[in-house]
Amino acid sequence: MVEKIVEELRPFFDPKAVAIIGATNKKGKVGNVIFENFKTNKERGIFKGNIYPVNPKLDEIDGYKVYHSVEELPDDTEMAVIAIPAPFVPDTMRQIAKKGIKAVIIITGGFGELGEEGKKLEREIYEIAKANGIRVIGPNCVGVYVPDTGVDTVFLPEEKMDRPKSGPIAFVSQSGAFAAAMLDWAAGAGIGIGKMVSYGNKLDVDDADLMEYFIHDDTINVVTFYIEGVKDGRKFMEAAKKITKVKPVIALKSGRSEYGAKAASSHTGSLAGADTIYDAVFKQTGIIRAEDFEHMFDLAKAFASLKDKLPKGDRIGIITDGGGAGVMASDAVARFGLRMAELSEETLRYLKEHFPPHAVAGNPTDVVGDTDAERYRIAIEAFVNDPNVDAIVVIVLFQVPLLEDEKIIEILAEYQKKSDKPILAVAMGGEKTERYARMLEERGVPVYPTPERGVRAMAGLVKYAEYLRRGA
């Protein structure tokens, strides 16, 4: 069963050859953008497979032979991307079935989300797929993005939407527009996405299938979902229970209100259901529910860097060079259900011995505004060695005059690497601070722009660690 799902879904992420049905030479059209994506990635040496554009009215696009029908396609075609009007899709699926292609992404919209006629078309496609062992992503989606293999069916051109670098986060979205916007945002924020799947109306491949697949995907550390509704609750729960034993799953579930549920129904034809049911399902299966997209990616960033050093408890140590920021972080500890660590007598004595009199030894420990990087090192060393501290939040206001920027970055990266306690940083400021934050993240330290967001991300690690300790 396990090998079956990996074998079935693998062509979506790394096909030997892709057919783009509806490819065109008209710039800006969906079929042209998708073709250009693959062509560009092949020229860059990222996409290694063959590209077969399909259009009955063309013979050639940018030097590529155009096939007039699915029947003419070479036998190594593993995946077909469909970008033609909805009424033509069922016949195309019959041709795909006859050709023996087993993975299909239907970008086209105009199906179940539009009412009964569209649902009838969906059922027809599903029956063809089911009878012929074809797996289908979509319809009404932007498909798949995999930076490592060059698969990119997102029909928004690169000049209008940046693509994120590769990373250990999988992002699955029911909404195509949301998926595209999040990829663009992740690129700007420097967040790496290993695989993105937009599945739209979930005709066939759904959340559960993808969870089963990602269990076995060594390139992915954490899986994030944007969900409007789940069609098969039992299947979803079984898959979720399996994957959360080995990898964290974060879900942003919309349609919480009556208005939102109605909007979800008209968007992808989803039945959002009672939100309290989703709360219960997520709790039971160990899925961490995100409050908003910012929260989802804050959590994902923490898990991507710190999954292998989850906190052993909920006692948080805070180090800061700004008293106000320390207070804000302390409030956040209480707000998100964590505890402030009670530092040991040995730690307090060590800090007092090594600090100047005006620095504050405690929790928060305030190295104050005339700090240098070495004072941070003393505090971090003490917190790392204190058995009463389970996780550490280090607030760095890079603006203070005596703090050596590169040295504090080096210190944080060093302790992140050698400590078995999770350490995350908070850096508040403008462009200069953002540059330092990027440098820290490149060294494996997740950084957050406010104390609240940093502590909330740490709370997600604590919650998942507790779930695993309870025996998942």
pLDDT tens sequence across 216-270: 999 999 999 999 888 899 999 999 999 999 999 999 998 766 666 666 555 555 5
Q: Let me know if residue 88 belongs to a domain.
A: no
Q: For residues 35 and 19, is the Cβ–Cβ distance under 8 A? A: no
Q: Let me know if residue 396 belongs to a domain.
A: yes
Q: Let me know if residue 215 belongs to a domain.
A: no
Reported pTM: 0.91
pLDDT tens sequence across 183-222: 998 998 888 999 999 999 999 999 999 999 999 999 999 9
Q: Let me know if residue 107 belongs to a domain.
A: no
Q: Let me know if residue 248 belongs to a domain.
A: no
Residue type, 309: K
Please tell me the distance from the alpha carbon of residue 457 to that of residue 301, in angstroms, as a whole number: 8
What is 41-70 written as a DSSP string?
A: HHHTT---SEEEEE-TT-SEETTEEPBSSG
Q: Under 8 Å CB-to-CB from 289, ≥6 apart: which residues?
A: 250, 251, 252, 253, 278, 279, 282
Q: Containing domain of residue 455, as a range?
A: 308-471
Q: Let me know if residue 341 belongs to a domain.
A: yes
Q: The CATH number of the domain where 441 resides is what?
A: 3.40.50.261
Q: For residues 306 and 429, is the Cβ–Cβ distance under 8 A? A: no
Q: Let me know if residue 271 belongs to a domain.
A: no
Q: Let me know if residue 386 belongs to a domain.
A: yes
Please tell me the distance from the alpha carbon of residue 79 to that of residue 13, in angstroms, as a whole number: 9
Number of domains in the chain: 1
Per the DSSP assignment, residues forming a β-bridge with 225 are 172, 251
List per-residue pLDDT tens for the chain, 472 residues long.
Answer: 557 999 999 999 999 999 999 999 999 999 999 999 999 999 999 999 999 999 999 999 999 999 999 999 999 999 999 999 999 999 999 999 999 999 999 999 988 788 888 899 999 999 999 999 999 999 999 999 999 999 999 999 999 999 999 999 999 998 898 899 999 989 988 889 999 999 999 999 999 999 999 999 999 999 999 998 888 999 999 999 999 999 999 999 987 666 666 665 555 555 555 788 889 999 999 999 999 989 999 999 999 999 889 999 999 999 999 999 999 999 999 999 999 999 999 999 999 999 999 999 999 999 999 999 999 999 999 999 999 999 999 999 999 999 999 999 999 999 999 999 999 999 999 999 999 999 999 999 999 999 999 999 999 999 999 999 998 5
How, if at all, do strands 60-61 and 64-65 pair? antiparallel
